Amino acid sequence: MGSPLVSPAGAVVAAVVLFAAVSPATAFPSGLPPGAPPFPNPWAAFQNLSGCHMGEERPGLAGLKDYLSHFGYLPPPPSSSPFTDAFDHDLEAAIATYQRNFGLNATGTLDAPTVSQMVSPRCGVADVVNGTSTMAKGSHGNGRHLYAYFPGSPTWPPFRRDLKYAITATSATAIDRSTLSDVFARAFSRWAAATNLRFSETASESDADITIGFYAGSHGDGEPFDGPLGTLAHAFSPTDGRFHLDAAEAWVAGGDVSSASSPGAVDLESVAVHEIGHLLGLGHSSVPEAIMYPTIRTGTRKVELESDDVQGIQSLYGSNPNFRGVTPTSPATSSREMDSAAGEGRRPDGVFVFFVGAVAAVGLLLAP
């Protein structure tokens, strides 16, 4: 998004287009070409653009421009003249910036690794704000600043260190209430362990600092969910406190997500840990192992804070003297995700990002 997306309440929206799920019946359609995603996703049509370069005109490029605009790489088009299918200089520059941000060769063409990265699930928070990349170019010195904040670094103020959360909207999900309580309690405990923040569930929405709910489609904040695939969840920066999950996803709330029957299964706790990071004021990190990395793989559990997450949150809230540090990261491996480029494109030095301007966005802008 080229401009900050402001909620009716005036809060900056963080958001997540993480992932998506699909019903088992449609999960693995036969006849897919090699290299095609193992299941449909809203961006799958970008695969058809592989190899496209400057000067070409290809059906679907307008949709890709919408995608890049959504994440801040192109300014939104004037309503009077929507994006066209022409591969122009602006698109080439946008792709090159994207490639640099994701550690890919900055060719400015839609090579296969780039397309593979683009179709992979990701968060809706923009990478480029007000025309300034917040990712690779924003790193300082030796790239030591890896985590990111929201513009203005909003946090919960010092007199609010005991935060209450309420699970307020569950009618749209089949997950039972006690399971949800357990999942979210574990997710919050990850952040509490590293800081002096404390979290407790309250049954009273009016008492709550943070509200958590499952919603389908439009749900009143201008950031409609998109059904299976695409947007998984979004959360608002401090001190808004809203955390919304797409009820249409194949959430796994207990047991081993890697053995879930749906190939689009998404681990609820993993997404919750990520979204809580936004609720507390963290933006995205380019460290692939970090909780605040924008994407999450289906069939994968990722709930442990990585050192980058810990440094980020402790810079905002101080450390917990009892914190025992992070456990060494074990790369997530059990994935059925089609995306493999995220790993390939990664820089060994973990160069990264700082959100310096405005933020962010949510919601899938692309038509299926």
How many residues of this chain bind Zn ion (CB under 5 A)? Answer: 5
Rounded to an integer, what distance in angstroms lies between the CA atom of residue 15 and that of residue 316? Answer: 20
Q: Give yes or no for a contact between 123 and 295, defined as CB atoms under 8 angstroms apart.
A: yes
Distances (CA, A) of 232 to 16, 33, 77, 270: 6, 26, 26, 12
Alpha helix stretches (DSSP H) within 195-303: 268-280
90 is annotated as contributing to ligand binding = no
Q: How far is the CB of 7 from Zn ion (least distance, A)?
A: 9
Residue 296 contacts Zn ion per CB under 5 A: no
Helices 177-194 and 307-317 pack at an angle, to 10 degrees, of 80
Select from 9-17, 29-37, 86-94, 103-111 the region that touches Zn ion (CB under 5 A).
9-17
Cα separation values, 165 from 98, 196, 204, 291, 311, Å: 36, 16, 9, 20, 24
Residue 294 CB, shortest distance to Zn ion, in Å, is: 6
**Is 209 labelled a binding residue?**
yes
Which of 5, 12, 16, 279: binder of Zn ion (CB under 5 A)?
Answer: 16
Binding Zn ion (rule: CB under 5 A), the pick from 66, 223, 269, 309 is 223
Catalytic residue among 223, 269, 275, 289: 275
CB of 222 to Zn ion, least distance (A): 8
Residue 246 labeled ligand binder:
yes
| Cα–Cα distance for residue pair 7/21, rounded to 1 Å | 27
Burial class (CB in 10 A: 0-12, 13-18, 19+), 239: middle
Amino acid present at 305 = L
Asked about 92 being catalytic, the answer comes back as no
Q: Which is nearer to Zn ion, 211 or 320 (CB)?
A: 211
Is residue 267 at the binding interface for Zn ion, with CB under 5 A as the rule?
A: no
- What is the bridge-based pairing of β-strands 132-133 and 128-129? antiparallel
Q: Print burial letters for 198-209: b (CB count within 10 Å at least 16), e (below 16).
A: ebebeeeeeebb
123 binds Zn ion (CB under 5 A): yes
Q: Which of 66, 127, 221, 309 binds Zn ion (CB under 5 A)?
A: 221
Does residue 304 sit in helix, strand or coil? coil
Using the rule CB under 5 A, is 309 a contact of Zn ion? no
Note whether 244 binds Zn ion by CB under 5 A. Answer: yes
Binding residues for Zn(2+): 123, 219, 221, 234, 244, 274, 278, 284, 292
For the annotated catalytic residues, the residue numbers are 275
Binding site for Zn ion (CB under 5 A): 16, 123, 221, 223, 244
Binding residues for Ca(2+): 209, 226-227, 246, 249
Binding residues: 123, 209, 219, 221, 226-227, 234, 244, 246, 249, 274, 278, 284, 292
